[in-house]
Structure formats: C-alpha cells, structure tokens
Structure 1
C-alpha cells in the first residue's frame, strides 16, 4: 500500500520501494533489461530518488532554480552533490549493462511519470504547494538526467577511442613483420613475378600504415589530453617546399604553385606540420578541379604565420562546411571520389584541426564559386613564452 502525504518529497521518501519497483519493471521491458538481475536493474535508482527528495527539501534561490531547470545543478548543497554522484554512477552502470542512450532517457521519462502518477493517486485534492513541489521535482530529475547522460556518453566515447587506440597499436606488429618479409623476398627473388608481388605488398602495407597513423592520432586526441607535440625551430618555408615538391613528383599533370613571404620561422612540431600541409594539399588535389591549380602560400603576420591552401572547383555546400572538420565525416563529389587516395577514412581534416589547435592556432575554410581556401593561423611561439 502506498503511503500518501501532501508534499511530494515526503511521499517519495515514504514510498521509495514501490517507486523503485516500477522503475525496475520498466527497465526490464527494455531489450537489454530483460537479461539483467533485479539488483542490476535498480542500480543507483534508490539513491537517486532519496537524493531527489532531500534536494527538494533544501531551500534554494531563484538563480539556483533556473540553473537546475537547465540540468546544471546549482543548489550547491550536500543533497544536490549526492544526486549528481548517484546519477553519474547510474549512467556508467547502464553503459556497462549494454543500454543505449535512448533507453537511459526512457528510464527517466518513465520514472518521472510514475512518481507523479502515484503521488497524485494518493492525494485526493490539490494543494497550494503542488505547483512548487512538481517544479522542484522536475528540476531535480532534469539535473539527474543531465548528469547520467553526460557520464554515459563520456564513457562510451572513452571506450570507443580506447578501442581504436588498442586496435591501431596491435596492428603495427603484424604489419611490420609483413613489410620485413616482403623486403627479404625482394632482395632474394629476382624474377619479375616476385618483384611485382613484393611491390604490391609494399604498396598496400603503406596504405594500412597511413590508416593506422590516422587512427592513432584520432584516438590520442580523445583520451583527455591534447595531441602531443615535440617543438623545435622550424622554417615553414623549407618544410612546405619539401612537401610541395613531393606532390609535384606524384602529380606531374597538375598545376601546383607555392609562395612564401616574410619570416616564417617558429617553434613548432616539424612532423605534425608536415601532416597539416600534406593533408591540406592532398585534399585540394582530390577535391579541386582537375584542370585548376592548387596554390600553397605561407606568410608572416605579426606574431603569427598564415598558411593557406587554395583550389578551384565546385564550392562545398554550406551544410557540408558545418561538419567538414568532424571525424569520420567525408564530403566528396563523384569526380573527387575517382581520385581518392587509398588509406583515407575521413580523418584528414579532423587531424589538421587537432594539430593546429595543439599549437594554439586556428583553421578555417571558405568555399565560393572562385574556389575553396583553407587558412591556418599559427603562433610563432607558444603562448606561455
């Protein structure tokens, strides 16, 4: 039998077990919940309910109410902190149980409906305090949901990136063995068929190696730290020319132009900036007009260096521009798809942004009928110097 009281917080504290039982029943109706034990289904539910009720009984100001209504907490008291802790734990446990994010949200929706329905059933007549009680309850549930979803998505993202990091690392060892074996065959076998086969092995292992490098860079930027840098004195003019000459030799049919102005020496990671230039120029060659030039320029501007890559061709649609630096998102045209380099999974521009950001710089893109230009701004010195 439910024990009813006029105030909602008191009702919740007096009826935690019946409410949690409804929580468990709903969770069991979900696909993953059908396989779980009652204890696992309830996980932090009781603590969330108790902390919610206690938080509702705590005095709070109007600004605190506004903060909580947006799911940001804001009461600043022990009960609000307990609610955050229990909600965070619930989100993490639901990840481990195999729930998806929509199932977690559905649990909260069902909890909200159950509490209000059971409370209203126990209270025959409305009271002047009802509106305030319902408002405080909804604010607390919103706060709890925000914390649970945040912890859920953070753990999923960490797991996904960790998987990529481990996979990329473990792929390197067998790849190295394959390359060594291919090199040995190439030195010992002289017939044309063996030479052709080893050349194919070498070419494809280079493709896989590029994929692994991109995956490692992608994973390293999502594990709670910025992309690591090894700074040294770098002449960006020399670096760009070396990278550019490599593209000239591999794309002799294309028109490539390079220009440098001013003092473009700074404290940067040489290898990382080579990735930036290579990715941007390679992107311009693939997506730009086959007949138009690709132009690389670097120039000094006060304490910064401006690097730009321009290509002619069909402009990038505005909706594609909005996600062009997002990982694993690739915009292409049918013509560009034919020229796509093997070993690309759509991480190139994401890695460019990560490298530039680690240097304290910015990268932007403008695409119009005249063509597309990526512009990188790099401080010559770290901000702490």
Structure 2
C-alpha cells in the first residue's frame, strides 16, 4: 500500500505517457531485466513505476529500506552510479547493496527537477552481469531522466493552472452572486426610496421638507446610476463586452433629446447648448446610446468649468452617427488621456473625482459594441472634447 505522502508522486509518474516506453528502452539499452523510477527522500525509497522481468517483487508504491540502497548515496552527491559486474568490481564487491539484493549489474541516474530539487532516480538492476561500458548508455539514460524531470515540472504547472481555473470559476460564481445582489437586492429598495420621495413631495408644502425630499431623490438617482454602472462593468468583464440589442429605429433623436432633458433636470446648475440633427433610420440600441450620451454629459458636468456651457452636437455624416460633447475647464494631461477609458481611473485626471470612474469606460464599451469608437482630445484653447462615432446602418 502506497504511503499517503507519496501517493501524488506515484500518480504523477504514472500520468506521464512516456514512462512505460522509457523503462522498456532502459532494459533494452542496458540488457538488464528490471527498470524502475524511484522517489527518494531523506527517509524513504518508493517505487513510482516498475518494469520487472526478474520477479524482484516491487510494485508501484512499494518500498525498500533507504539505507540498503545506493540511491541513498546518489541523493547526496547527485551523480550516476554504474557497475556491470559487482563481484569483480573492487568498489562494489563488498558493498552492502549488491550483497543484500544479489545484484551483479546496476545503473542509477539522478532525476533533478528544473528548480534543482532532487526527486529520485531512474535505475536498472539485474542478478547477472551486463556490459555497461558504452558511454552512450549513461548519456541516453541521463536524457531519459531529464525528460522525466521536465514532465513532472510541466505537470506541476498544469496542476497550478487547474487550481487557478478552479479559483477563477469560484470567483465567477461569486461575481454572478454579486451581480444578482446589485440587480435585485439593491435596485428594489432603491426604487422604493425614490417612489417614497415622490409621494412625500406631493404630501408637503414645507420648503425645508421639500428640500430634504429633493436631496433624497437626487441621491437615489445618483445611487441608481452607480449601481447600473457597476452592473454594466461586471457584465462587460464577464461576458467580453457590454451587451447591446441593435435594431433599426427612427426615433433616436427623441430618445437623445429626452436624455438631455434628464441631465438638465438633475443638474439645473449646468448650462447645455445642444444641436441634434439625425435624419432617417439608425441601426443601434437606443437605450445604450442614450446611456453613452448620459455618461458623456454627466462627465462634462462633473469635470467641466461650472461657468462655461457644455456644447453637444449630434449629426449623421457618411453613414455614421457622430456625438460630440465639449466642455471647458482644466485641460487633461496628455499622459492621462490614454487612461480615461480604463475603469476606475477617471479620478486620476483631476477634477472633483465624483463617482467610481466607470462612466467613460462604459461609454467606450457601448461605442465598441456598436462597431464604433470613442475618442478624446483636450487643450486649453479648444477645451475637452469627446467624440463617439458608430455606423448608422447595419453591416453589409
């Protein structure tokens, strides 16, 4: 019975497809009738694989007393040991190992892993002499031992990869639970808060109370936007992009005008100058394009100059829809421009740093999902300008 602490080693060797062929080749090259791969530690000698034609009696998992083996010495000096006729060899004629096991021929090659850890030996024995004088025998067995070591190392990396994959699957399950919490357990009570605020607004005329109700409503709207952004971020990272449902629509102008009105209502202090000219049908997901515009306008309100208007232009050109949002304010450093469309990095660009830094990332992902692109330029003379472009017609 294999000791539990060596079960993985025996399993690892048995999992190497080349091992039976290697042991057969060792017997063929040396002319000996027993070949094995042994795991050798400070206290144990354990057979991991065996090719036995002399009924030596060892099976995978079987042990020899470490001190009775030459592998105990090989573990210390990590050099091959070879003799072809023990009884005629001055060094091994009186050695305890050939005397104990009745051996005449013996060869053992150390197996050293790529990180210099000693694993064990590749060995062959027989009770009759063998001609081991050809240097090619030791060289070939050394290559076999290196092949075994590399295979064990590869298996170790594969096991680590499997463990990481298991962890990743577990993390994926936790992310799905996290999305479920966001999607239901948070949005549902938040909707109740907003409806309660609307109801309270109809039941009181006290200015102070109305001010508190308005603050509750605005906070719940902002919390809802944050939750939706995090949900979209999670969906995008888990599913390879933010999902969109594109179709032919003839009312995109109305949808985007309604988005502008919502921004005005939620940010009465902001000045918006818009020009929206879309003619005919557009192939898109109107709700996602509305979200893209809302994120760009929200970003302009948050990070632009409060004393300068935000300029919005939306038009069609060469079968493309173009959305341009420009605001004045402190220009963004050229070093930070490439980071703007990465998640959680917006606050690094200065400004007041509100939100999670997901708005521009999500806007960029929506543009990409529409086979389009979102770009940015920023200078003291021209201001900061975000331009989104995407095809207005379905792909051919």
- 2:373 maps to 1:353: no
- 2:249 maps to 1:233: yes
Structure 1 window deviating more from structure 2 (352-361 vs 287-296): it is: 287-296
Q: Is the 1:56–1:137 contact (alpha carbons within 8 Å) kept by the matching residues of 2?
A: no
Deviations 1:153-209 (A, max 9, x none): 354144224313323311223223333433444333444444344333323322222
Corresponding position of 1:199: 214
The change in CA–CA distance for 1:249 and 1:18 in structure 2 (over 3 A counts) is closer
The number of residues matched between the two structures is: 289
Secondary structure in structure 2 of the residue aligned to 1:221: helix
Q: 2:389 aligns with which of 361, 377, 380?
A: 377
Secondary structure in structure 1 of the residue aligned to 2:357: coil
Deviations 1:234-286 (A, max 9, x none): 45555444434554566676664444567474122222211101111221232
Secondary structure in structure 1 of the residue aligned to 2:322: strand
Corresponding position of 1:163: 178
Q: What is the rounded CA distance, in whole Å, between the counterparts of 1:58 and 1:295 in structure 2?
A: 75
Matches within 5 A, 1:263-274: 263=279, 265-274=281-290
- Which runs of 5 or more structure 2 residues have no equivalent in the other structure? 23-111, 124-137
Q: What is the rounded CA distance, in whole Å, between the counterparts of 2:19 and 2:251 in structure 1?
A: 62
The change in CA–CA distance for 1:334 and 1:116 in structure 2 (over 3 A counts) is closer
Matches within 5 A, 1:54-133: 54=17, 117-119=117-119, 121-122=120-121, 127-133=142-148
Shift of 1:116: 6.1
Deviations 1:335-374 (A, max 9, x none): 433xx4xxx3222122213322333333233445654333
The structure with the greater share of residues assigned to strand is 2
Q: What is the rounded CA distance, in whole Å, between the counterparts of 2:184 and 2:250 in structure 1?
A: 29
Q: Is the 1:264–1:300 contact (alpha carbons within 8 Å) kept by the matching residues of 2?
A: no
Secondary structure in structure 2 of the residue aligned to 1:326: coil
Q: Is the 2:13–2:152 contact (alpha carbons within 8 Å) kept by the matching residues of 1?
A: no
Q: What is the rounded CA distance, in whole Å, between the counterparts of 2:201 and 2:264 in structure 1?
A: 28
Q: Which entry has the higher C-alpha Rg, 1 or 2?
A: 2
TM value normalised by structure 2: 0.57
Q: Is the 1:161–1:222 contact (alpha carbons within 8 Å) kept by the matching residues of 2?
A: no
Corresponding position of 1:304: 320
Q: What is the rounded CA distance, in whole Å, between the counterparts of 2:236 and 2:334 in structure 1?
A: 26
Shift of 1:137: 4.1
Secondary structure in structure 2 of the residue aligned to 1:219: helix
Secondary structure in structure 2 of the residue aligned to 1:206: helix
- 2:8 maps to 1:20: yes
Deviations 1:8-32 (A, max 9, x none): xxxxxx99952738xxxxxxxxxxx
Q: Is the 2:253–2:276 contact (alpha carbons within 8 Å) kept by the matching residues of 1?
A: yes
Deviations 1:272-305 (A, max 9, x none): 2111011112212322344555333334343322
Shift of 1:141: 3.9
The change in CA–CA distance for 1:203 and 1:368 in structure 2 (over 3 A counts) is closer
Corresponding position of 1:330: 346
Q: What is the rounded CA distance, in whole Å, between the counterparts of 2:184 and 2:217 in structure 1?
A: 19
Secondary structure in structure 1 of the residue aligned to 2:225: helix
Secondary structure in structure 2 of the residue aligned to 1:54: coil
Shift of 1:232: 4.4
Which of structures 1 and 2 has the larger relative contact order (alpha carbons within 8 angstroms, sep 6+)? 1
Secondary structure in structure 2 of the residue aligned to 1:325: coil
Q: Is the 1:267–1:382 contact (alpha carbons within 8 Å) kept by the matching residues of 2?
A: yes
The change in CA–CA distance for 1:181 and 1:312 in structure 2 (over 3 A counts) is closer
Shift of 1:334: 5.2
Q: Is the 1:165–1:215 contact (alpha carbons within 8 Å) kept by the matching residues of 2?
A: no
Q: What is the rounded CA distance, in whole Å, between the counterparts of 1:227 and 1:207 in structure 2?
A: 22
The structure with the greater share of residues assigned to helix is 1
